[in-house]
Amino acid sequence: MIQPWIHKKQTDVAFILLPPFFIALIVLLFNEKLAVIQDNYSFLTWLVLIVFIDVAHAYASLFKTYLNKTEVSKHKKLFTIVPCICLLLSMAAFIVSKDFFWSVLAYIAVFHFIRQQYGFMKLYSRNEPKNKLKLLFDKIVIYNATVFPMMFWFLNPDRNFNWFVSNEFLQSNEPQITNILFICFAVIFIAYLVSVVYGFIKTKQLNLPKNLLILGTYISWYLGIIHYNNELIFTAFNVVSHGIPYMALVYFKEIKPNKKGSFYLPFFQTKYLVVIFLLILLGLAFLEELIWELTVWEEHFQFPEFYISDNLHFIWIPLLTLPQLTHYVLDGFIWKSKK
The domain limits of the chain are 9-334
| Dist CA 118 CA 108 (whole Å) | 15
One pLDDT digit (tens) per residue for the chain, 339 residues = 789 999 999 999 999 999 999 999 999 998 888 877 776 667 888 899 999 999 999 999 999 999 988 889 999 999 999 999 999 999 999 999 999 999 999 999 999 999 999 999 999 999 888 889 999 999 999 999 999 999 999 999 999 999 999 999 999 999 999 999 999 999 999 999 999 999 999 999 999 999 999 999 999 999 999 999 999 999 999 999 999 999 999 999 888 776 666 776 665 556 678 888 999 999 999 999 999 999 998 777 777 777 888 899 999 999 999 999 999 999 989 887 544
**What is the H or E stretch that residue 191 is in?**
helix 175-203
Q: What is the pLDDT of residue 273?
A: 83
Q: What is the pLDDT of residue 339?
A: 41
Measured CA angle at 21 (ends 251, 272), to 5 deg: 25
Q: Are 274 and 251 in contact, with CB atoms under 8 Å apart? A: yes
Q: What is the pLDDT of residue 140?
A: 98
Measured CA angle at 191 (ends 187, 193), to 5 deg: 120
Q: Give the HSE-up count for residue 279: Cα atoms under 13 Å, Cβ half-sphere.
A: 6
* Bridge partners (DSSP) listed for residue 68: 263
Q: What is the pLDDT of residue 282?
A: 96
Q: What is the pLDDT of residue 297?
A: 84
